[in-house]
Amino acid sequence: MKSFPQSETLKRLPNQFFADLMKTLNTYREQGYDVINLGQGNPDQPTPEHIVQSLQNASENPDYHKYPPFKGYDFLKEAVADFYKREYDVEVDPTSEVAIMLGSKAGLVELSQCFLDPGDVALVPDPGYPDYWSGVAIADAVMKSMPLLQENDFLPDYEQLDNDTLDKAKLMFLNYPNNPSGAVASEEFFKETIDLADKHDICVVHDFAYGAIGFDEHKKPLSFLQMPGAKDVGVEIYTMSKTYNMAGWRVAFAVGNPSVVEALELIQDHYHVSLFGALQEATATALLEPQDSVRELRQTYEERRDILAKGFEELGWDLMPCKGSFFVWLKVPEGYSSQSFADALLDQVGLFVAPGVGFGTYGEGYVRIGLNNSKKDLKESISRFKEFQKKESEH
């Protein structure tokens, strides 16, 4: 049978980190190991019932059985605008400042294709969400890392970027609350970002996937669009996956700069014919109806975070302060790399975590742990970490 060579574009793609992670996990489970999966960022709670009911009812509408409008239904864009006004007091023009997307991952990859030509520079957080890299690779552009270091609260230090890099940069990806570190952004940082982007003509893409999940005094994480001038220099990407447990529904939207929205809609005209209309109606339901489920979800994650924080404190392990997202960022013990520590946990006590190096060079020395497990499983996880610690001390 013939084997057809792949294009140079496909050859440039990085390894799919999360696919490789799941392959490893499934291999262990198939061999009969009792493994607790702390490595994946997949919401474990069901989509709220009123949203599911909205989809069920809307799916009977014969109008939705036809192709939807290429750019999505106006009622969903209006719902997005209402959501941003209610939640963040941000005025949004639904006709020119909202693009509906088939999940945030697709939109984040497409943005690189919209604005990067071969050789152009994209500024990418390190550690950060690996799929930012995919879009840059498809565009045959150049990726420049912005190190996120503990001493700078896991915010990029723009003074470390040289002027040549800044002048060549076309895109900057940011993500707060942050995956994988759990850090949050301040007003001062966002204002600094806007000034930098304006000076160097950089389009800022703020990935706000965990926008609803903040803890302690950060229960309402800042939207990039709340800062004056934000829409002049970029967009914010909001997904339904985390806020409403709709990961499998694949619905997201970009909000902000009209030229970016226009470019996204243009490329999507060639890839998709928008989303199934009933999905769009159910999404509008989620955005517009009472947000009790969101508050309950935030509380659930905070309680889970507290279990891990207390457990690691008792073990004397160095857990980074988790201010938002549903991840915690754990420093690996002395003598381990992030990968060797992840491997040892899996082999010795059946704990599956994500090695930090999979999120970038500066992720080395950490592992990411998700809060997408029951309190019972998280308490059992702490017991297994304690068992691992005991084995280490005996060794």
End-to-end Cα distance, the chain: 52
Q: Note whether 331 and 274 are same-domain residues.
A: no
What range does the domain containing 301 cover? 8-46+293-394
Single residue among 257, 288, 319 that ends a domain in this structure: 288
CB–CB of 39/179 below 8 Å? no
Query: For residue 373, what is the domain's CATH number?
Result: 3.90.1150.10
* pLDDT, tens digit (0-9, with 9 covering 90-100), for 71-111: 999 999 999 999 999 999 999 999 999 999 999 999 999 99
Q: Note whether 210 and 335 are same-domain residues.
A: no
* pLDDT, tens digit (0-9, with 9 covering 90-100), for 167-225: 999 999 999 999 999 999 999 999 999 999 999 999 999 999 999 999 988 889 999 99
Note whether residue 1 is domain-resident: no
Residues 160, 10: Cα–Cα separation, whole Å: 32
Q: Note whether 281 and 207 are same-domain residues.
A: yes
Q: Which long-range contacts (CB under 8 A, 24 or more apart) does 53-56 make?
A: 54/281, 54/282, 54/285, 54/286, 55/278, 55/279, 55/281, 55/282
Number of domains forming the structure of the chain: 2
Tokens found for residue 394: 């005996």
pTM value?
0.95
Single residue among 233, 259, 288 that ends a domain in this structure: 288
Note whether residue 3 is domain-resident: no
H/E stretch holding 163: helix 163-168
Positive or negative torsion for Cα 72, 73, 78, 83: negative
Q: Note whether 308 and 227 are same-domain residues.
A: no
Q: Note whether 193 and 314 are same-domain residues.
A: no
Residues 42, 40: Cα–Cα separation, whole Å: 6
Q: Note whether 273 and 134 are same-domain residues.
A: yes
Residues 140, 135: Cα–Cα separation, whole Å: 9
Q: Note whether 230 and 370 are same-domain residues.
A: no
